[in-house]
Every structure is written in C-alpha cells, then in structure tokens.
Amino acid sequence: MSIQLGEPVPDLDLVLTGDRTLKLSAYRGKALVLYFYPKANTAGCTQEGQDFRAMTGAFAASATVILGASRDSLKAQESFKAKQNFPFDLIADPDETLCRAFDVIKVKKMYGRESLGIERSTFLIDAAGVLRHEWRAVKVKGHVAEVLAAARALT
C-alpha cells in the first residue's frame, strides 16, 4: 500500500489515547493533520507536540483536527499526552501498520549504528479524505506554522 498525494487515504484502524479505536474515515468532514514523531517524551517530539498544542485553536478555526502518531505503546502515548496536556489525541502504532502505510519507517544512523525508526513527517488530509500535502524529514522549528498555512488554504 502506497499513499500518494492527490489520492484518497485508505480507511485504516487507529488506536487512540483514551483507549479508543476509530477508523481514519471518522475524521471525514474536517481536514486532518497527521504528524508522525519518533518517540514520546524526547526533546524534539515534545517541542513539536507543544507547537501543535499552542496552535490548536487556529487549526480548529480552520476546521482541522490534529493527531500525533508514533510506534510507542498506548500506555506511553497516554502518559505523554497527560504530561504535556495535549488537547488532541495521540495514536499508538507499535505494530507499525499506520507508519508503514505512510512510509515513515526509515533507516536512521546514530553514533555510526543503523536502525529503523520513524522519520519525522506530517500529512494534511482534506475533508474528503484525500492527501493534499506531505512534509518529510521535518525540522521542528517553524513547521507547525507552515502546516497551519496549508490547512487554512484548504478552506
């Protein structure tokens, strides 16, 4: 399965904080920001989440929902959300189904060693469920403002 710009996103199952399971189609009717981050409670991931938290009202005014996703367990996601007071849900994807569908699992190098991990990426899906924008290999600084501008352009 390969998700392409301008194409409908498959109706995947999501495991959300609050121990809820929904289909991606549950968000139809509003735009959806789906951002992937490597690991809960790490510096860059925390900053990115805080940046999205700070702009939640602006996204809501543009009829856009925010969801964060990582390979962390539901328990880790619940803890991260509570600790950071995120007003949006986080997705637990320990089996990497969602991550692989969006092709965000990449070989990463750290201290000369290679491992598979999430490449920080964000996707903007329109109200009809079509992928409209993607950002890969994201740098946190200024990213949320760029995503917000794209979300506003959808409305």
- The pLDDT profile of the chain, 155 residues, written as one tens digit per residue, is 578 999 999 999 999 999 999 999 999 999 999 999 999 988 889 999 999 999 999 999 999 999 999 999 999 999 999 999 999 999 999 999 999 999 998 877 767 787 788 899 999 999 999 999 999 999 999 999 999 999 999 97
- Of 121, 114, 50, the closest CA to residue 86 belongs to 50
Catalytic residue (choose from 45, 55, 125, 147): 45
How is residue 119 annotated by DSSP? P
Domains of the chain: 13-154 (3.40.30.10)
With tokens 């189609």, the residue in question is 25
Residue 121's nearest CA partner among 110, 130, 106 is 106
What six digits make up the tokens of 10? 């498959």
Active site annotation includes 45: yes
Instruction: Give the whole-angstrom CA distance, residue 154 versus residue 140.
Output: 22
Q: What single letter denotes the amino acid at residue 88?
A: F
Contact 99, 117 (CB under 8 A): no
User: Which contiguous run of DSSP H or E holds residue 67?
Assistant: strand 64-70
